Structure 1
């Protein structure tokens, strides 16, 4: 051992065991956010971030190629590189990590293949097993242990259940391999229900209803972020446990298909679930802040807080280490990440979302904003992770 900090897949020989890519940096890729906190507010924010169980409902804490156009080749290796140093500096306790999601084209040119998902899940955990600062989360005890030890936990999930096809027992297999959260559908429909980009919203299928019942029995958290409105509402109506919307926003604030209607937001809250505010570029914009930044995202946060109550809101920034706008350009044909429907609101495109650009900076800036806006300590602790932890106590009650 050299005493050097562990770098992802450091147990392998670069250029021999795996190809070498110039990866995006974990720090200082873009200028720091100017939050404008005074000394006292900064001290309070640092204390709250340190003392709270901080949970991101959705992020991709991995390093992408510095040239995002190399991502398909990079992903074909089956290995995305966990940003261990960036995570250590993030202040987070747990990250809901949805791995390669729709970009996992390891064995072909289409996403959501079963073998690709299994490869992704195994490779990431093989890497994590070779160091001790980042741990895999499978139980509530794991979360509390990580917080006490000052470690960061990765909670693995999928943005869509598409890879199970029509084989419900695959949910058990994924759970057995460490998965603890799963989405119903992505932009396209699947055997469970309609995705958010479908012209005709068919809602949750009969198979989808059986799948949700199995997810409840397993203790597999259900996510409806990319599901259609009707599918989301149907899922909430049949689930016996809290439902998550891990990364989205309010359509009343920014009228695009990627955002959710008030009816869907209320349905999630009525299950006891939690809504995570997303910051993926050009999604959670607002008319007050049409240039995407932390301020745009907080307009969605305030709206959801007023609509369903502070106990049902949190943050799932959906960020990564690298050029997220470039990622959307490379994978737009697969992810269908268009920011607006035809005739939708106009906006100014940005190179990055100021204040919520990567998993390292997100929660320091979120906590600073909450302090500056006058939220109490208990309210801040709730939205930083307490609300999610409360929901998981009901979802993982087995």
Structure 2
């Protein structure tokens, strides 16, 4: 966390007049839909947490913005207004120096009904970048030095990321365009297959893996210095990416099949393949899990499997009622959510980025991890891999 956070009170898009220049919506409070909890520590442990978070703290996967207070009524109008509100004030209450912000994913539908179109992604990336340019506290992250600068200055570096490459269609040059806009990490697929490979939710009788075009796209991402993520890609696609990539590969948010996630989890084979590239695995928080303790069971499983040098945290949480958002989206897409998805209304101790990034360092200290191990999983592992990629 470096110096004390230097949040200056900037609110999203305050260079415009809300209600005149754009339609505004009541936005979620910090604790929407859940009861906050802090991992209990002794005074000595509290002091140790403070000391350890003076070094780099980085999340591999979040949606660091506010959703509408009334998701059921306002979510699609809010999205189509085209101005997603980064949660500057709430982020300033965390230990984070940098955050991989995945934006709206398939909800990026300002111009279309189904998202992932080129115009939608360009609109969201550029609009968020414009707002970041007006903040003195948060700024768009373009290289590893920016992360160090954020830590030293008490600011937060926002890494703009996209979870699927669907919008590049068959145009490799779009990778360079996205890089030029500031995108520094991109997934191959998001559940649904595209020109690069088979999606994790799109496997029927067989897994088609990475396409020839997908292999060329991975090569182009390596060339320009954009991190490659295999989250939401099919198992074979993910293994193929690890085989063809010349740079470290990331899974920004995952849970382990071997730690109780069954078919919805990631296999040991894939975790080992990612580690073999020099890559890093971020651990996902999910309503499949009731609390931070079960989340950390996955963390410990993956550390035992691939070693502490290849593990980090990517909780994948947001400011808003996450469970209600899942319900609304499932109805919109005509899908029935698996019962396991709604097993918990929220993940106790991890429900939004503020709670997650105050509790993760606390849990590590409370459970006896060494200073070296904690520094690695809070930021050093990701910085090492990004040094090779970026």
Q: TM-score range by the shorter chain?
A: over 0.9
Say if 2:317 and 2:352, in contact at 8 Å, map to a contact too: yes
**CA deviation map 1:174-205 (0-9, x unaligned):** 00110000000011100000111122310000
1:4, 1:48 → 2: CA distance? 25
Stretches of structure 1 that go unaligned for 5 or more consecutive residues are 286-291, 341-345
Aligned to 2:220: 214
Matched with 2:24 is: 20
Give me the whole-angstrom Cα distance separating, in 2, the residues matched to 1:163 and 1:67.
Answer: 29
Question: What does residue 68 of structure 1 align with?
Answer: 71
Separation in structure 2 between the aligned mates of residue 335 and residue 225 of structure 1, nearest angstrom:
23
* Whole-angstrom CA distance in 2 between matches of 1:209 and 1:91: 37
Residue of 295, 304, 307 corresponding to 1:306 = 304
Q: Secondary structure at the match of 2:281?
A: strand
Shift of 1:71: 1.1
Please tell me whether the aligned partners of residues 93 and 147 of structure 1 are also in contact (alpha carbons under 8 angstroms). yes
For the structure 1 residues 143 and 203, does the alpha-carbon distance in structure 2 shift closer, same or farther, using more than 3 Å as the test?
A: same
The 8 Å contact of residues 195 and 227 in structure 1, kept in 2 or not, is answered as yes
Q: CA deviation at 1:28?
A: 7.2
Query: In 2 relative to 1, CA 281–94 (structure 1 residues): closer, same or farther, beyond 3 Å?
Result: same
Shift of 1:249: 1.0
Q: 1:361 aligns to what SS in structure 2?
A: helix
Deviations 1:247-299 (A, max 9, x none): 111111233444211111111000000000011322xx3xxxxxx21112111
Counterpart position of 2:282: 276
| 1:215-264 residue CA offsets vs partner (Å, 9 max, x unmatched) | 00011000001101000000000000000000111111233444211111
Structure-1 separation of matches of 2:333 and 2:264 = 15
- Whole-angstrom distance in 2 between the partners of 1:375 and 1:202: 41
Among 338, 344, 352, the alignment partner of 1:350 is 344
Report the counterpart of residue 7 of structure 1 in structure 2.
Answer: 11
Contact 2:327 2:337 in 1 (8 A): no
**1: CA distance, partners of 2:246 / 2:334:** 30
CA distance in 2, matches of 1:7, 1:335: 36
Which protein is richer in helix relative to its size?
A: 2
**d(CA) in 1 for partners of 2:80, 2:175:** 24
CA distance in 2, matches of 1:13, 1:147: 32
**Aligned equivalent of 1:266, options 263, 269, 272:** 272
* Partner Cα distance (1:339, 1:251) in 2: 17
Per-residue deviation, 1:155: 0.3
Q: Which runs of 5+ in 2 are unaligned?
A: 1-6
Q: State how far apart, in whole Å, the 1-side matches of 2:286 and 2:116 are.
A: 20
Aligned equivalents of 1:390, 1:353: Cα separation in 2: 30
User: Against the structure 1 CA distance between its residues 335 and 186, is the aligned structure 2 distance closer, same or farther, given a 3 Å change threshold?
Assistant: farther
Tell me the equivalent position of 1:250: 256
**Which residue does 1:155 correspond to in 2?**
159
Please point out which of 357, 367, 377 is paired with 2:361.
367
What's the C-alpha RMSD, in Å, of the aligned pairs? 1.8
Q: Partner residue of 2:62?
A: 59
Q: Structure 1 residues 330, 295: closer, same or farther in 2, change over 3 A?
A: same
